[in-house]
Amino acid sequence: MKVLAAMSGGVDSAVAAARAVDAGHDVVGVHLALSRMPGTLRTGSRGCCTIEDSMDAQRAANIIGIPYYVWDFSERFKLDVVDDFIAEYSAGRTPNPCMRCNERIKFAALLEKAIDLGFDAVATGHYATIVTDDAGGRELHRAAAWAKDQSYVLGVLTKEQLAHSMFPLGATPSKAEVRAEAAARGFSVATKPDSHDICFIPDGDTRGWLAERVGAEKGVILDRGGDTVGSHEGAHAFTVGQRKGLNLGVPSPDGRPRFVLEVRPSTNEVVVGPKEALDIAEIAGSSYSWAGNAPADASIPFECHVQIRAHADPVPAIAVVRPAVRQTQGTYSVPISGENEMVITPVEPLNGVAPGQTAVVYVGTRVLGQCTIHRTTSAVPVPVA
């Protein structure tokens, strides 16, 4: 096969490209220039896709002996990932930019361009596996090393995208083995630290970065009953589950700490309450997709596990697709005409789930699908005044 290897400049993608060559594929390496400031250098392990990473990727490609190119996707990245991140926070949601990057850049824009150029597949250094079922369909599964499993952030991939995806590291038992292999191959990135944090906010100051782009406007902090208990300098700075930095002027009646339960950007309000109110009995998302073949009839509730963060443990749940509804003050209105949503009910309440997060549904080790959470239902009813 003719394979395009996406090379970030890290150890995983370098070894993945080398393994694709070892498997007999015709491989070309490509680094995606995502930063609009190409002279930017990494700081430790913060960020990725900088000019330093590009040079690391080129050195690995030279050792492997494959052609290497840099493609400028900075404009697409700004529109589909950075601007989306700002818009989601402005709307009071908590987005996952890595999910959006995989969905819209690495496995949409990049894959589309690769296919147009005659490539059969795109290979990346993600830790996940693809299994072919008895009918020839492709399924996305967890990696062999659960500690490094990245199937969660790939949950947005569709059946069509899986047909052109390749993950050479999926069966690798550990990251240590990948680093040892990189060292044996002579890659300078063998000991390079993993990148972390949001790549376009390399200093890690998300609150300050958002303040510059969204702006800060004073507003009030309310309790669940609607009473004012404090003030804030900008609702965008708060996330569901946050405890620190609330600066509440009115203590809770029982003296217990309060947590952010909801962010309301339209009224610039933040709602706080007791920790138990963070327990979520149901989540739903109208923006959902299936990774591979969809269930025969998703309108029939089915058992699964749901994972709501990249490093969270999956929990047993029941999922179903049904007509979407609007939620107002804990009650449901008439179903939204012509629109469906994936509704997930965990066996035990989830904690601190925020709209904008991604819920990935598993059946065994298989990623069945995902949804972007647009509403949640607390397990603790709002007290009646």
> DSSP label at 84?
H
Chain center to CA of 305: 17
CA distances 254 to 226, 250, 257, 273, Å, are 17, 12, 9, 11
Distance from C-alpha of 31 to C-alpha of 77, rounded to nearest angstrom: 14
Question: In this structure, are residues 319 and 304 in contact, taking their beta carbons and an 8 Å threshold?
Answer: yes
Distance from C-alpha of 66 to C-alpha of 20, rounded to nearest angstrom: 11
Q: Which of 49, 199, 304, 371 is catalytic?
A: 199
Chain center to CA of 350: 18
Place of tokens 């597949």: 121
304 is catalytic: no
Question: Could you tell me which residues come within 8 angstroms of residue 30 by beta carbon, excluding any fewer than 6 positions away?
Answer: 4, 5, 6, 7, 68, 69, 70, 71, 110
Place of tokens 């690798």: 172
199 is catalytic: yes
**For residue 329, how many other CB atoms are within 10 A of its CB?**
5
Distance from C-alpha of 319 to C-alpha of 279, rounded to nearest angstrom: 18
Place of tokens 């490539």: 119
Distance from C-alpha of 242 to C-alpha of 263, rounded to nearest angstrom: 11
290 backbone dihedrals φ, ψ, rounded to 5°: -115, 135
Tokens of residue 28, six digits:
């070309």
Question: In this structure, are residues 306 and 315 in contact, taking their beta carbons and an 8 Å threshold?
Answer: yes
Distance from C-alpha of 139 to C-alpha of 158, rounded to nearest angstrom: 10
108: left (phi over 0), alpha (psi -120 to 50) or beta: alpha
Q: Which of 98, 101, 304, 371 is catalytic?
A: 101
Active site (catalytic) residues? 101, 199
